[in-house]
Amino acid sequence: MLGKPYNLYFLSFGSYFKLGVTNQMRTRLINLLNEFPAEFYIEESFYFELTDGVARTVEALLKNKYRSHKVDNDLYPTEVFSSECIPQMLSDIEEFHYLFNLEQSRKELIDRYIIMYNDEEKPVIQQTKNVKRMYDAFRGKEEYFDELFRVSDNK
């Protein structure tokens, strides 16, 4: 793939999801978490790494084809879709990959980012690989790891 990859993302809010394109996934997640920290399901979210043109084309095609699956909601200010149409959308994306001989590029968001919380209970996005590296450094010394990442008793 030439140039910086763009992400066609499916960000889950349980029964509905946000479909969009970004080349700054971490920034997109930070903005999302600042607005809707409790409603976002990172473990159900995923994305595709594509070029800018392909990502925007697939997004537009999917939003047009599945406009009847849009969900009215008070939570998210832009359009969101019912999670029930995800399997059909994924099938369409697979067909698009096949048609244009593209490498399958689906990635789970939790494999790339993890949500942690700072002392003020604000969500912080960290790369999963960095947190794993830190955890591995503390292997056998879990009490230190637990102290560093303890959950506040004030919740």
The domain ranges of the chain are: 6-111, 115-155
At 152, is the pLDDT very low, low, confident or very high (cuts 50, 70, 90)?
A: very low
The pLDDT value given to residue 154: 42
Residue 128 pLDDT exceeds 90: no
Torsion angle, CA of 32/59/82/72, rounded to 10 degrees?
Answer: 70
Its pTM stands at 0.80
Q: Across residues 20-38, what is the average pLDDT?
A: 86
Residue 99 predicted with pLDDT over 70: yes
Contact 49/105 with Cβ under 8 angstroms?
yes
CA-CA-CA-CA torsion sign (130, 131, 134, 135) = negative
Distances (CA, A) of 4 to 33, 50, 54, 93: 24, 9, 13, 20
Does 81 have pLDDT greater than 90? yes
State the pLDDT at residue 146.
63
pLDDT, residue 24, reads 93
User: Residue 68 pLDDT > 60, yes or no?
Assistant: yes
- With bands split at pLDDT 50, 70 and 90, how would you rate the model's confidence at 155? very low
**pLDDT tens digit string along 31-40?**
888 877 668 8
Q: What's the whole-number average pLDDT of the chain? A: 84
pLDDT band for position 47 (50/70/90)?
Answer: very high
Q: How confident is the model at residue 78 (pLDDT cuts 50, 70, 90)?
A: confident
